[in-house]
C-alpha cells in the first residue's frame, strides 16, 4: 500500500485514499474477494450491516495474516425504518447494532463507523449520532462519520455535537462530482469519500472523453477515474469481484492526469445520480 496515499482526518487518524468496497458481494464470496484484495495490497475495506457480508469480510481479515493495525475497516449502521431511533431506546439500538457488526466481523474495534443514511424526514439522526459519540469516546471505534448526508444534516451535527464526522461517504463520479458538497466538507474539515467511484461500472466506462484520456495515458478508463478521485483529494472505494480488476484498480499511482485531462473530465457532469437522492430517501 506504500504507493497509495493516505488522508489525515480531523481527529488525527489516517485512512488510505483508495479502499475496497463490498456492496453486492454475497457473504460466501466475500471471504475470497476480500482476501484477494488484501493480497493485492488494499488495506482499507468498506462494508455495511445491510450488505450482509460482514461475516465473510471478517473471515478474510482473519485469514489474510496482515496485522490488524495495518488494516482500516469501515462498517455502517443500518438505521432502517423498522426500529424507532429516537430517545434512549434509539441509542441502545445503535449500540446493539454495533455489537452485532463487531461480532460478525470478528473484531474488537472498527476504524470507522458510519450512519448509512440520514433519513432526514424522521429527524432522528442527531440522536443516533449521540450513540456514535459514545462509541467513539469509549474507544470502540477509532473514528465516526456519516454517509449520504447533505449540508443541512451536517450543519445540525456541527451545531449540536462536539464530535465532527471525519468524513461523509456520498455518491461521486465524473457524472456527479458533488462540487458544492465537497467545498462544504473542505470548509469544515470533513473528508469526502466516493461511493460508486466508477459509476457502478456502467456508461462511464465507455464514455468517449474518458476512453480518449485512457488511450493517451496508456491506462484503462477505470484507472483514469480512480486517478481523478485521488487528484481531487477524494477517498475512493471501488468494488470488483474480478481478481484482475481488483489489481487494476489499485494500480493508479504511476501516472498523473494533466490540466487538459482534468478540464475534459470536468465537462462530463450530468447532475444525474445512480442512486436515490438521500434528502427524500427512506427505508423500511
Ligand X SMILES: NC(=O)c1ccc[n+]([C@@H]2O[C@H](COP(=O)([O-])OP(=O)(O)OC[C@H]3O[C@@H](n4cnc5c(N)ncnc54)[C@H](OP(=O)(O)O)[C@@H]3O)[C@@H](O)[C@H]2O)c1
Tell me which residues are annotated as active site: 51
Q: Interface residues for ligand X in 73-112 (CB under 6 A)?
A: none
The smaller minimum CB distance to ligand X, of residues 137 and 270, is found at: 270
Select the span of 2-10, 91-99, 131-139, 241-249 touching ligand X (CB under 6 A).
241-249
Select the span of 6-14, 15-23, 98-106, 153-161 touching ligand X (CB under 6 A).
15-23
Q: What are the grid coordinates assigned to 239, written together?
A: 468494488
The smaller minimum CB distance to ligand X, of residues 107 and 250, is found at: 250
Q: What are the grid coordinates assigned to 33, written together?
A: 474477494
Dist CA 3 CA 1 (whole Å):
5
Residue 239 sits in the site that holds ligand X (CB under 6 A): yes
Dist CA 38 CA 249 (whole Å):
13
Residue 16 sits in the site that holds ligand X (CB under 6 A): no
Shortest Å distance, C-beta 153 to ligand X: 14
Select the span of 64-72, 120-128, 245-253, 260-268 touching ligand X (CB under 6 A).
245-253
The smaller minimum CB distance to ligand X, of residues 21 and 165, is found at: 21
Angstrom CA distances, 78 to 4, 51, 119, stand at 30, 10, 11
Q: Judged by CB under 6 A, which of 238, 250, 252, 265 binds ligand X?
A: 238
Dihedrals phi, psi of 113, to nearest 5 degrees = -120, 130
The smaller minimum CB distance to ligand X, of residues 41 and 201, is found at: 201
Residue 174 sits in the site that holds ligand X (CB under 6 A): no
The smaller minimum CB distance to ligand X, of residues 253 and 260, is found at: 253
Is residue 147 within 8 Å of residue 115, measured between CB atoms? Answer: yes
Binding mask 177-216 for ligand X (x = CB under 6 A): ------------------xxxxxxx---x-----------
Q: Judged by CB under 6 A, which of 36, 91, 169, 192 binds ligand X?
A: 169
Q: Judged by CB under 6 A, which of 248, 250, 261, 265 binds ligand X?
A: 248
Q: Is the dihedral of CA 198, 233, 192, 10 positive or negative?
A: positive
The smaller minimum CB distance to ligand X, of residues 65 and 226, is found at: 226
Angstrom CA distances, 234 to 67, 173, 195, 196, stand at 26, 10, 10, 12
Q: Judged by CB under 6 A, which of 130, 245, 247, 273 binds ligand X?
A: 245
Q: How many CB atoms lie within 10 A of CB 59?
A: 20
Shortest Å distance, C-beta 77 to ligand X: 11
DSSP, residue by residue, 212-272: HHHHHHTS-HHHHHHHHHHHTT-EE------HHHHHHHH--SS----HHHHHHHHTT----
Shortest Å distance, C-beta 249 to ligand X: 5
Residues that bind ligand X (CB under 6 A): 21-23, 46, 116, 147-148, 169, 195-201, 205, 220, 222, 237-242, 245, 248-249, 275
Amino acid at each position: 500500500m506504500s504507493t497509495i496515499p493516505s488522508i489525515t482526518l480531523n481527529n488525527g487518524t489516517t485512512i488510505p485514499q483508495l479502499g475496497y468496497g463490498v456492496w453486492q458481494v454475497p457473504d460466501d464470496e466475500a471471504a475470497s474477494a476480500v482476501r484477494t484484495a488484501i493480497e493485492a495490497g488494499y488495506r482499507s475495506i468498506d462494508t455495511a450491516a445491510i450488505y450482509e457480508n460482514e461475516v465473510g469480510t471478517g473471515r478474510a481479515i482473519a485469514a489474510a495474516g496482515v496485522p490488524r493495525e495495518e488494516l482500516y475497516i469501515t462498517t455502517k449502521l443500518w438505521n432502517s425504518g423498522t426500529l424507532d431511533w429516537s430517545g434512549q431506546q434509539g441509542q441502545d439500538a445503535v449500540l446493539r447494532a454495533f455489537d452485532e457488526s463487531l461480532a460478525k466481523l470478528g473484531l474488537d474495534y472498527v476504524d470507522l463507523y458510519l450512519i448509512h443514511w440520514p433519513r432526514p424526514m424522521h429527524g432522528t439522526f442527531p440522536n443516533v449520532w449521540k450513540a456514535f459519540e459514545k462509541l467513539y469516546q469509549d474507544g470502540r471505534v477509532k473514528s465516526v462519520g456519516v454517509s449520504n448526508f447533505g449540508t443541512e444534516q451536517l450543519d445540525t451535527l456541527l451545531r449540536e455535537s462536539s464530535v465532527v464526522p471525519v468524513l461523509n461517504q456520498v455518491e461521486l463520479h465524473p457524472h456527479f462530482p458533488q462540487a458544492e458538497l465537497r467545498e462544504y466538507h473542505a470548509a469544515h474539515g470533513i473528508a469526502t469519500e466516493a461511493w460508486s467511484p466508477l459509476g457502478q461500472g456502467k456508461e462511464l466506462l465507455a464514455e468517449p472523453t474518458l476512453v480518449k484520456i485512457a488511450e493517451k495515458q496508456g491506462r484503462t478508463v477505470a484507472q483514469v477515474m480512480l486517478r481523478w478521485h485521488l487528484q481531487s483529494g477524494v477517498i475512493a472505494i471501488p468494488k470488483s469481484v474480478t481478481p484482475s480488476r481488483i489489481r487494476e484498480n489499485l494500480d493508479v499511482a504511476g501516472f498523473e492526469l494533466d490540466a487538459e485531462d482534468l478540464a475534459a473530465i470536468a465537462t462530463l457532469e450530468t447532475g444525474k445520480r445512480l442512486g436515490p437522492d438521500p434528502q427524500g430517501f427512506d427505508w423500511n
